[in-house]
Amino acid sequence: MIKSKKTGQLIVISAPSGAGKGTIINELLKRDNKTRWLSVSATSRLPRPGEKEGVTYYYLTKEDFEKKIEEGYFIEYTNYAGNYYGTPKNYIREKLDQGIDVILEIEIEGAANIKKIVPEALFIFIMPPSLKELVRRLKTRGTETNEKILKRFNTAYKEVNEVTKYNYVVVNDRLDDAVEKVESILKAEKCRVDR
């Protein structure tokens, strides 16, 4: 007999800065916030104007963050640009068991750590349109100094290398298209035989 248990999917979304992943995720949640849940991370960085405690992040001091690391509070954490960022463990299992998809908006190192713990999670990389443009320019233009070209290429190369660790890549050149693409990925994943 075929048994079916509806569990949620763990979805990891990463992007280089400026790729617009926050906007895409907001749009996904606007469309459906009943079967989708965005995990709120903790950070030791200070709030930026407009950010809200418990909505954007949980803001902790460096000391409190380190205490929580020791207590095993995080499923993953990292040090990014001099500040801690971490995904709290609580709620994730509960939401997945309720059939709710859990979205983690985290950087590449955190994503790699999640992959070690939850290899069946879905990994989506959002690419900024400027990278595509950059590759085109690198190929066709000869006006930049060699040093500049090399520096840009190195950055692009690093990002492209990271992409290969993800299941899907979505280039955000038009917001509507990018959101549609992510929606299609999420729908297709629900139809997978191994799920």
Footprint on this chain of ligand 5GP (rule: CB under 6 A): 41, 45, 76, 78, 80, 85-87, 105-107, 109-110
Contacts of 117 (CB under 8 A, 6+ apart): 75, 76
Smallest distance, ligand 5GP to C-beta of residue 118, A: 14
Smallest distance, ligand 5GP to C-beta of residue 9, A: 18
Strand boundaries in the chain, DSSP class E: 10-14, 36-38, 42-43, 58-59, 74-80, 83-88, 101-105, 122-127, 168-171
Using the minimum distance from each CB to ligand 5GP, give the nearer residue, 57 or 100.
Answer: 57
- From 164, 168, 195, select the one nearest 183 (Cα to Cα): 168
167 by DSSP, 3-state: which? coil
Contact 126, 105 (CB under 8 A): no
Smallest distance, ligand 5GP to C-beta of residue 161, A: 17
Using the minimum distance from each CB to ligand 5GP, give the nearer residue, 48 or 139.
Answer: 48
Smallest distance, ligand 5GP to C-beta of residue 193, A: 31
Using the minimum distance from each CB to ligand 5GP, give the nearer residue, 131 or 136.
Answer: 131
Using the minimum distance from each CB to ligand 5GP, give the nearer residue, 112 or 138.
Answer: 112
Contacts of 28 (CB under 8 A, 6+ apart): 36, 103, 179, 182, 183, 186
Contact 48, 131 (CB under 8 A): no
- d(Cα 180, Cα 169) in Å, to the nearest integer? 13
Smallest distance, ligand 5GP to C-beta of residue 192, A: 26
Using the minimum distance from each CB to ligand 5GP, give the nearer residue, 8 or 110.
Answer: 110
